Amino acid sequence: MTSITHENEECLCVGGPLPAGDAFPATGVAVVYTYRPEPFDNVPSITASYERKPLTRQTSEGPETRDFFVFAGEQDTKGHQVRKGLSDAEALAVTLATPDLYWKSAQ
């Protein structure tokens, strides 16, 4: 992980059920989000997890690294995998596809 430059720094979420661009304090190492895929009480919850990871992109000035909360996967209430998370390469590809969102303040 990269060092935190100030206490208000945030990391953006990449992939998963949270909207692109959602941010959480960079002081954490993970984010867990529990939701119901349907608005009914009898529908089991799904737990999505995100891990803080540094991703590096290449720019004309050289490599640039930034921390993100990368989607690590989803589990049902019994701990069974519902959806696989993103690899580092997949997460980087998501950020590079929308650089204005994920890399804007770093440009």
pLDDT in tens, 94-103: 999 999 999 9
Tell me what the mean pLDDT of segment 17-40 comes to. 90
Residue 52's domain comprises 10-98
The answer, yes or no, to whether residue 7 has pLDDT greater than 80, is: no
Number of structural domains (the chain) is: 1
The answer, yes or no, to whether residue 36 has pLDDT greater than 80, is: yes
Question: What is the DSSP-derived secondary structure letter of residue 9?
Answer: -
E strands, 1-107, in order:
10-14, 23-25, 30-35, 46-59, 62-75, 81-84
Residue 61 belongs to a domain: yes
* Confidence band of 81 (pLDDT split at 50, 70, 90): very high
Residue 85 belongs to a domain: yes
Residue 106 belongs to a domain: no
pTM here is 0.86
Tell me what the mean pLDDT of segment 3-10 comes to. 61
Closest CA to 55 of 102, 22, 17, 21: 102
Q: Residues in the chain, how many?
A: 107
Residue 19 belongs to a domain: yes
Tell me what the mean pLDDT of segment 63-74 comes to. 96
The answer, yes or no, to whether residue 105 has pLDDT greater than 80, is: no
Mean pLDDT, the chain, as a whole number?
Answer: 89
* Confidence band of 21 (pLDDT split at 50, 70, 90): confident
